């Protein structure tokens, strides 16, 4: 509670001195609707950055890049910020970075073809099943079952392809980012018949900030806390059909 009070007080002070403190930060991300949408420069994270800019006076210059390039540029100090990161995902990087107060979640859920849903309360409930997953994603909760051959992993390029395969009855079940699945169901009528199931994993995500901007982190935290308290972040998620 003391930390929260301190952060809010810092925001009040920073709001009075925006002109002196305002800066431009280079942001790296990739086209990943609804989190970041390159066409039209929109998306959940973009909208949150826009609201943060209003509170702090800072400017966020977003660059859309291939995902591996984001990590390289961040390590080299050419990117200042990456939104929507869980610290454990980058702990092995040369420059893991500093992390703001969490502002959202990344939730992976089971998604089923129509009338194929069943409870998945623990990884063992998937034993003997074939499950569609995004190529290159780790899914640590399921790694032992996959390694032992008790779960048949079927890879796709991305969640969009997984949902398409479900809708065409190519798969019975897949694992997808809940926000991506909900957004696509809003956009594509044939996906509305798909059934969202139990949570496989959930991670609190933050703004990953380059260590050279450590002094800025307190001001950023205060702004994030204010947006959360006002319900602004929940409204932004809902704008894209996302309810986590």
pLDDT digits (tens, 9 = 90+) for 31-73: 999 999 999 999 999 999 999 999 999 999 999 999 999 999 9
Query: Who's near 227: CB < 8 A, 6+ residues apart?
Result: 48, 51, 52, 55, 103, 233
Mean pLDDT, the chain, whole residue set = 92
The model's pLDDT over 176-187, given as tens digits with 9 standing for 90+, comes to 999 999 999 999
Does 244 map to a domain? no
Question: Do 196 and 116 share a structural domain?
Answer: yes
In angstroms, the first-to-last Cα distance of the chain is 25
- For 151-164, what is the mean pLDDT? 96
Structure token digits, residue 204: 């609190």
Q: Tokens 């704008």 correspond to what residue?
A: 239
Number of H helices, E strands in the chain: 9, 9
Question: Do 121 and 58 share a structural domain?
Answer: no
Structure token digits, residue 108: 């992976």
Does 45 map to a domain? yes
Q: What is the pLDDT of residue 21?
A: 67
Does 47 map to a domain? yes
Question: Do 70 and 12 share a structural domain?
Answer: yes
Question: Do 147 and 215 share a structural domain?
Answer: no
The CATH number assigned to the domain holding 122 equals 3.40.190.10
Band of residue 14 on the pLDDT scale cut at 50, 70, 90: very low
Question: Do 95 and 211 share a structural domain?
Answer: yes
Our count of domains for the chain comes to 2
Partners of 24 in beta bridges: 59
pTM of the entire structure? Answer: 0.89
Question: Do 118 and 95 share a structural domain?
Answer: no
Task: Kindly tell me if the per-residue pLDDT of 163 is higher than 50.
Answer: yes
The model's pLDDT over 121-146, given as tens digits with 9 standing for 90+, comes to 999 999 999 999 999 998 999 999 99
Q: Which domain holds residue 24?
A: 2-101+207-239
The model's pLDDT over 214-234, given as tens digits with 9 standing for 90+, comes to 999 999 999 999 999 999 999
Question: Do 129 and 10 share a structural domain?
Answer: no
Print burial letters for 21-38: b (CB count within 10 Å at least 16), e (below 16): beeebbbbbeebbbbbbe
Q: What is the pLDDT of residue 51?
A: 98
Question: Do 79 and 110 share a structural domain?
Answer: no
Question: Do 95 and 8 share a structural domain?
Answer: yes
Q: What is the pLDDT of residue 162?
A: 97
Band of residue 13 on the pLDDT scale cut at 50, 70, 90: very low
Does 91 map to a domain? yes
Residue among 79, 77, 53, 48 nearest 66 (CA): 79
Does 229 map to a domain? yes
């Amino acid at each position: 509670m003391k930390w929260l009070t301190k952060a809010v007080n810092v925001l009040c002070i920073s709001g009075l001195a925006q002109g002196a403190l305002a800066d431009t930060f280079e942001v790296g991300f990739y086209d990943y609707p609804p989190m970041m949408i390159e066409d039209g420069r929109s998306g959940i994270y973009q909208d949150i950055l826009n609201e943060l800019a209003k509170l702090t006076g800072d400017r966020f210059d977003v660059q859309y890049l291939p995902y591996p390039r984001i990590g390289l540029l961040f390590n080299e100090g050419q990117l200042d910020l990456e939104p929507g990161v869980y610290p454990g995902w980058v702990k092995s990087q040369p420059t893991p970075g500093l992390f703001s107060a969490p502002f959202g979640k990344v939730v992976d859920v089971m998604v089923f073809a129509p009338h194929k849903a069943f409870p998945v309360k623990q990884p063992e409930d998937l034993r003997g099943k074939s499950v569609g997953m995004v190529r290159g994603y780790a899914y640590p909760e399921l790694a032992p079952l996959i390694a032992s051959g008790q779960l048949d992993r079927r890879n796709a390029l991305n969640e969009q392809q997984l949902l398409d395969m479900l809708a065409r009855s190519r798969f019975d079940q897949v694992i997808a980012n809940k926000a991506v699945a909900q957004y696509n169901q809003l956009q594509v009528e044939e996906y509305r018949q798909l059934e969202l199931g139990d949570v496989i994993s959930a991670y609190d995500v933050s703004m990953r900030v380059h260590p050279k901007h450590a002094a800025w982190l307190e001001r950023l935290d205060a702004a994030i806390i204010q947006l959360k308290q006002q319900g602004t972040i929940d409204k932004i998620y809902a704008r894209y059909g996302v309810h986590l």
